Structure 1
Amino acid sequence: MDDDDNDDEAALGAPGPAGGDTVIHTRALTKRYRGGQLAVDGLDLAVPAGSVFGFLGPNGSGKTTTIRMLMGLIEPTSGTARVLGHPMPRASRAVLPHVGALIEGPALYGFLSGRDNLLRYDAADPTADPRTRRARVAEALERVGLTAAAAKKARAYSLGMKQRLGLAAALLQPRRLLVLDEPTNGLDPQGMREIRVLVRELAAEGTTVFLSSHLLDEIEQVCTHAAVMARGRLLTQGPVADLAARARGRLTVTTPDTADAARVLKEQGVADVVVTEDRVTGEPADRELSALNAALVTAGVRVRGFGVERASLEDAFVALTGEGFDVAG
């Protein structure tokens, strides 16, 4: 280890809540592969300390490439990335002991039990205290609900159980940052709920959680902040509530006079008007909602209900990318 790495490790100190305003910060981070493929293009990302940060993007958006650069697995073509206040990948030996990660599914020894896999993982960590190894492995198994299956061979685990075991490996030591790539992949609804609870608990303990997921509903339920990627570029980032608020919700009019209501709304500039039984919905025009309601009443439409539904994170995503959400990233 060179002097710079020694300095970095000393500055990081013991694991615990990360200091400063951000735990991940990139500036103009770029990755271009051979043949000219631009996977990540000038990414400026800021992940607040103590947040649960959702990383979203359609297929080929550059999410996994970004995570690999943040973890020091691949070198950026240009730009900079700092994790826990230190440059990556140069300070990776100092930073990574304070980071738990589950990226693209766990790598497991199928012939070993779940418990023995974790013991092997822990033994490979030079910072891990062997005197407390078995106790920490037992605690990690308990946190992800695998205590009853701890003696079973990993090759007999379901996909969801393997995901749980990979998460347990990331939790063997206290972490300042936890990086999760599709953490609920393969889990049933109950397993998803348990992972949500665990993520919230970790955040409450001071761990910053950075996760990518294709489940927008999951992101909306568990994340405090999010970023949206498309075609290698960052489209937006910020608090989840603010991102959803930027997308206009759909105007909904409840009336027995749906045909007349649809005609009036179109005349008033409302787009994408849809009629369903006693309800008419559409994209609000750039005018006061009270004026739209007045136009309906003046035209003799019997308005039984009128309002704009709250936009969801999915609405914001579609508005930003112009496409639906694809699973891979």
Structure 2
Amino acid sequence: MPYEHDESREPMGDTPATEPESEPDSPGVDDSVIHTRALTKRYRGGQLAVDGLDLTVPAGSVFGFLGPNGSGKTTTIRMLMGLIEPTSGSARVLGRPMPRSARTVLPHVGALIEGPALYGFLSGRDNLVRYDAADPTADPRTRRTRVAAALDRVGLTAAAGKKAKAYSLGMKQRLGLAAALLQPRRLLVLDEPTNGLDPQGMREIRSLIRELASDGTTVFLSSHLLDEIEQVCTHAAVMTQGRLITQGPVADLASGVRGRLAVTTPDTGEAARVLKEQGVGDVVVTEDRVTGEPPDRELADINTALVTAGVRVRGFAVERATLEDAFVALTGEGFDVAG
């Protein structure tokens, strides 16, 4: 993970919080693998990138860090990994304060942040050899075995001899993930790991993440794709404009949000008209379905109104609320991934 020093983006104002000096020499055992308290990053010029973040990532979870582009996710990850210092507040990773304990913590962490840094003139295999050789804990006698296993795990064995500059964006993402998996890790931090992947590649990476979690690795996964988080994560946190909106088990985040009413019918135009008359909001018509936000009233009466109007109702249900529904309910706005 390269550290890029940019004097124009140095923190201003508050002094970074310090942790007590009486710390053990190895990462502590805690119920939370990542814990932040009032973590804040303000750049020169006054830009507040992360605003008082209190985040808790349980051990053994696949934790989705969710938010539109520009919401502060990558800045938070860079602080957690010791690449930049917070303006104020504190962060602990594997029970140790960061960035002060980076040398102790990082050997136990695999990370893919803001895309992999690769030597374009070297092959994918030789890039991994370089990464492994830079690890003082790696046994050089078994280096080739580790590299081959990492390449196989991300599906790059056939392309291992090709120069990295000829790799597609998706292949580069896979190679970066392979670098993070050269050693067994207690924590894996992935920033937009499916960026550039085709649908099949995305499925493979999700399967790999589940496999890693089943082996006991905690996975911290940053993404702006709500569907991705919902499919693979056990827990999630939602960020917007540098602030934490909510966090908890994925199943609980949308539990307090009412799902959308969905009517399956060949008579979509008439169904949409009736639903609007019955107080259904945000009505959306697709090929054979009409969906909308149900009003706070007896839904059986809405179904009766559809049938009375001659709409051929083939399906009528309130679908389970999604993370997108929860985000809209929490923020009052859509999920603008170009933010």
State the TM bucket, normalised to the shorter chain.
Answer: 0.7 to 0.9
Please give the residue correspondences for 1:150-165 in structure 2 after superposition, counting only pairs within 5 Å: 150-165=160-175
Mapping for residues 43-58 of structure 1, pairs under 5 Å:
43-58=53-68
Matching of residues 8-157 of structure 1 within 5 Å: 8-12=24-28, 19-157=29-167
CA pair 50-299 structure 1, distance change in 2 beyond 3 A: same
**Structure 2 gaps, min length 5:** 1-19
Give the drift of 1:69.
Answer: 0.5
- The Cα shift of 1:224 comes to 1.2
Cα RMSD of the aligned pairs, angstroms, is 2.6
Following superposition of structure 1 onto structure 2, how do residues 240-255 of structure 1 map, counting pairs within 5 Å? 240-254=250-264
Query: Deviation of residue 269 (structure 1)?
Result: 3.5
Tell me whether 31-40 or 210-219 shows the greater mean CA deviation. 210-219
Distance 1:39 1:174 in 2: 32
- Give, in whole Å, the separation in 1 of the partners of 2:227 and 2:154: 21
Say whether residues 1:270 and 2:286 are aligned partners. no
Equivalent residue for 1:318, pick from 328, 332, 336: 328
Cα separation, 2, equivalents of 1:217 and 1:257: 29
TM-superposed CA distance for 1:135, in Å, is 1.2
Counterpart among 284, 287, 290 of residue 297 in structure 2 = 287
- Tell me whether 1:172 sits opposite 2:188 in the alignment: no
Change (3 A) 1:137 1:284: same
Distance 1:167-1:295 versus aligned 2 partners, 3 A rule: same
Structure 1: distance between partners of 2:27 and 2:189: 21
Take 1:211 and 1:195, find their aligned partners in 2: how far apart are those partners?
12
- Deviation of 1:289 after TM superposition, in Å, equals 2.9
Aligned equivalent of 2:235: 225
Structure 1: which 5+ residue stretches go unaligned? 13-18
The higher-RCO structure (CA 8 Å, 6+ apart) is: 1
Q: What is the rounded CA distance, in whole Å, between the counterparts of 1:300 and 1:248 in structure 2?
A: 27
How far does the alpha carbon of each residue in 1:105-154 deviate from its partner, in whole angstroms, 9 at most, with x for none?
Answer: 11111122212111111111112122221211111111111122222222
**Residues 156 and 280 of structure 1, relative CA distance in 2, 3 Å threshold:** closer
**For each residue in 1:60-88, what CA deviation from the matched residue of structure 2 results, as whole angstroms up to 9, or x when unmatched?**
21011000111011111111111111111
Instruction: Give the aligned length.
Output: 319
The alpha carbon displacement at 1:99 in A equals 0.3
Q: What is the identity, as a one-letter code, of the residue corresponding to 1:171?
A: L
Q: For residues 239-259 of structure 1, what are the alpha-carbon distances to aligned partners after superposition, in whole Å with 9 as ceiling and x for unaligned?
A: 222223333222134568877
| Distance in 2 separating the partners of 1:198 and 1:213 | 16
